[in-house]
């Protein structure tokens, strides 16, 4: 069998967890060569650049993969079957920072780790929120710190390497490019 496209011949689930599934694939390359590839299946995620009272709202929380705390925009995985992306973004905002977005603007989607994972992350922005009670979901969120970074300072945070999380940097750049982080006089 020879073709000009890659073709997955076989897939075997080698691990199935609460958040991810790992598969071993047999892939036929153009020209017929067979190769093995390891893939992580992920349900996808949403994140929100939230501007509230002249500040960008972020969360500082522990990330076990790095054994460190990171400052990030509110985000979470798509773990409710059939839930629309905007509803998931709203749910995560309420859980993580106690804000219910009045307006959600879809900034875009990206693939964080295409070399080995099928996760697609969609980023929204909101410029108006209503304060509500946080509905913390998980031990990391229980111990998280909500930061309100003034718009006058957030540009420094973007540019000075203080933030290292990919979704946060992409989301803030997209929001800045659209003028959503401009200071209103």
Handedness of CA 134, 77, 127, 139 (dihedral sign): positive
State yes or no: is 140 an active-site residue. Answer: yes
More confident residue, 160 or 61: 61
> What is the per-residue pLDDT across 91-138, written as a single tens digit (0 to 9) for each?
999 999 999 999 999 999 999 999 999 999 999 999 999 999 998 888
Q: Does the pLDDT value for residue 147 go beyond 90? A: yes
Between 173 and 138, the higher pLDDT residue: 173
Task: With a cut of 90, say whether residue 3 has pLDDT above it.
Answer: no
* Helices (H), ranges, 41-182: 85-97, 139-142, 151-159, 166-177
- Tokens for 179? 């003028």
Please enumerate, as own/partner, the contacts of 75-82 that have beta carbons within 8 Å and a separation of 24 or more.
Answer: 75/45, 75/46, 75/47, 75/48, 75/121, 75/167, 76/45, 76/46, 77/19, 77/42, 77/43, 77/44, 77/45, 78/43, 78/44, 78/45, 78/46, 79/19, 79/43
Global pTM value? 0.91
The single residue of 72, 95, 133, 140 carrying the catalytic annotation is 140
**pLDDT value for 159:** 86
- 1 band by pLDDT with thresholds 50, 70 and 90: very low
Confidence of residue 2 (pLDDT cuts 50, 70, 90): low
Q: What is the pLDDT of residue 185?
A: 45
Percentage of the chain beyond pLDDT 90 is: 85
């Amino acid at each position: 069998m020879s073709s000009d496209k890659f073709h997955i011949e076989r897939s075997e689930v080698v691990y199935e967890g609460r958040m991810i599934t790992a598969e071993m694939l047999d892939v036929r390359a153009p020209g017929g060569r067979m190769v093995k590839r390891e893939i992580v299946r992920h349900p996808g995620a949403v994140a929100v650049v939230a501007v509230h009272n002249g500040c960008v709202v972020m969360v500082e929380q522990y990330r076990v993969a790095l054994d460190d705390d990171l400052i990030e925009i509110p985000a979470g995985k798509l773990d409710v079957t059939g839930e629309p992306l905007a509803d998931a973004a709203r749910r995560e905002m309420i859980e993580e920072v106690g804000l219910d977005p009045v307006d959600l603007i879809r900034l875009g989607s990206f693939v964080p780790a295409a070399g080995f994972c099928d996760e697609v992350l969609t980023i929204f922005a909101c410029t108006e929120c209503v304060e509500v009670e946080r509905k913390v979901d998980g031990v990391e969120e229980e111990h998280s710190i909500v930061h309100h970074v003034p718009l006058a300072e957030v540009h420094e945070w973007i540019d000075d390497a203080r933030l290292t999380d990919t979704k946060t940097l992409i989301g803030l750049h997209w929001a800045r490019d659209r003028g959503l982080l401009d200071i209103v006089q």
